[in-house]
Structure 1
Amino acid sequence: MKWTFEIAGLDGDCRLFGVNIFRYSWRDCGETAAVIDPHHGVEKRFHVYEVIIEGQVHRFAAGEFSNGVFGFYLPET
Structure 2
Amino acid sequence: MACKYEIAGQEGQCKLFGVNIFDYRWLATGNKVEVKDPIYQREHIFMIWQVEIDGQIYQFAAGEFSNGVWGFYLQEK
**Which TM-score band (shorter chain)?**
over 0.9
AA aligned to 1:54 is D
TM-score normalized with structure 1 length: 0.97
What RMSD in Å do the two structures reach over aligned CA positions? 0.6
| Separation in 2, partners of 1:18, 1:70 | 17
Shift of 1:15: 0.3
AA aligned to 2:41 is G
Q: What stretches of structure 1 move > 4 A for 4+ residues in a row?
A: none
Q: Which structure 2 segments of 5+ residues have no match? A: none
In the alignment, what sits opposite 1:27? 27
Shift of 1:13: 1.0
In the alignment, what sits opposite 1:66? 66
Q: Which structure 1 segments of 5+ residues have no match? A: none
Q: 1:35-74 maps to which residues of 2 (within 5 A)?
A: 35-74=35-74
Describe the superposition over 1:22-56 as per-residue Cα deviations: whole angstroms up to 9, x where unpaired.
00000000010111110111211000000000000
AA aligned to 1:36 is K
Identity among equivalent positions (%) equals 53
| Separation in 1, partners of 2:2, 2:48 | 12
AA aligned to 1:65 is F
